[in-house]
Structure 1
Amino acid sequence: MAEAKHREGADIYEGEVALEKAASLLEDSGLPGGLLPLKNVIEAGHVKETGYVWIRQEEEIEHVFKQVGRPVKYGTEIKAFIEKGRLRDLSGVKSKEMLLWVPINDISVPSTAPNKVAFRSIGGLGKMFKKEAFERGQ
């Protein structure tokens, strides 16, 4: 029920248009467009009034950002609230730390470090990496 409430008034996109829209939403908010290197996207939605976004893809994928050297898993559904320079209340994204997959729930470009991207987990653990590592095509 709450999920349907979040999606009220959404612009919904399908297929390749959905993938492109997701990347442009990131870039328009000040985040790198390659932050979500997804494949086989079925649907993406965005509610302009609240910033709620979701992306559905056919299957979970794993991606390694070359400059960071860490595997990241993207689930079949990724949800968040997008705002200037930030994805908050993020779900569906995990990063491998040592032997564990850690859910990432917040991604931001700090105003104090605009050339970096900060990743935080629910427990408050965080890391920062160079923003260029997450540009499209990386």
Structure 2
Amino acid sequence: TMVAINRLRSSQFLHQIKELVHLSGESERKRNRETERMVSQVIDSMRERAEIFVGEIECQKKAIQVLHEFSIPGGLLPLDNIVEIGIVRSEGFIWLRQRKKKDHYFEQISRSVSFAAEITAFIEPRRMKKVTGVKAKELLLWIGVSEMLVDNSKSGNIQFKTHTGISRSFPVSAFVN
């Protein structure tokens, strides 16, 4: 009977977890829609001061050029369907628009990363901050990446930070294309 009680408790616990995951998924989707709307508004407000590039081939080249210009590895954003890139150099603001969201698995670090259709960041040498549109899978959860910092020392690491304060470091070599 004790085994049956423990099984019942376990199944009730699992049911409660499933409900929480479902509810958090709904609120996550709502937050994502709101974030996407706000990102589009920010991009629209920056347009008149921006250098804007369109077309997949030109945007692909420009994205890699800008990342290298700021000493950020080109493979950090493995995007192959970029249709627009905008740069407001006076603000250090950059945006990339893709045809659709892209999921990518970085084999060297065993991590899945999701790139939204619109990605924004404030860029400076060796650093991207206030990043939107990039999420990394940590255990079973997708967590938004808010900052990427390339270490200037001999360690050759790049540090990723989330809005919640979690950070992870990985070798830069995992992001070189």
More helix by share: 2
Look at both structures and tell me which one has the larger radius of gyration over its CA atoms. 2
Q: Residues 19-74 of structure 1: CA distance to partner in whole angstroms, max 9, x if unpaired?
A: 21111111111110110001211100111111100000011111111111100000
Q: Which has the higher contact order (CA 8 A, sep 6+)?
A: 1
TM-score (norm 2): 0.73
Q: Which amino acid aligns with 1:127?
A: R
User: What CA RMSD, in Å, does the superposition of the two structures yield over aligned residues?
Assistant: 1.4
Cα separation, 1, equivalents of 2:153 and 2:100 = 36
Structure 1, gaps ≥5 residues long: none
Using the aligned pairs only, state the percent identity. 35
User: In the alignment, which residue of structure 2 is the partner of 1:32?
Assistant: 73
Q: Secondary structure at the match of 2:61?
A: helix
State which of 90, 108, 111 in structure 1 corresponds to 2:149.
108
Alignment size in residue pairs: 136
Counterpart among 32, 50, 66 of residue 10 in structure 1: 50
Letter in 1 for 2:50: A
Q: What pairs up with 1:71-90 in 2 under 5 angstroms? A: 71-90=112-131
Gaps of 5+ in 2: 1-40
Look up the SS of the partner of 2:147 in the other structure: strand
* Match of residue 106, structure 2, among 62, 65, 68: 65
Give the TM-score of the pair, scaled to structure 1. 0.92
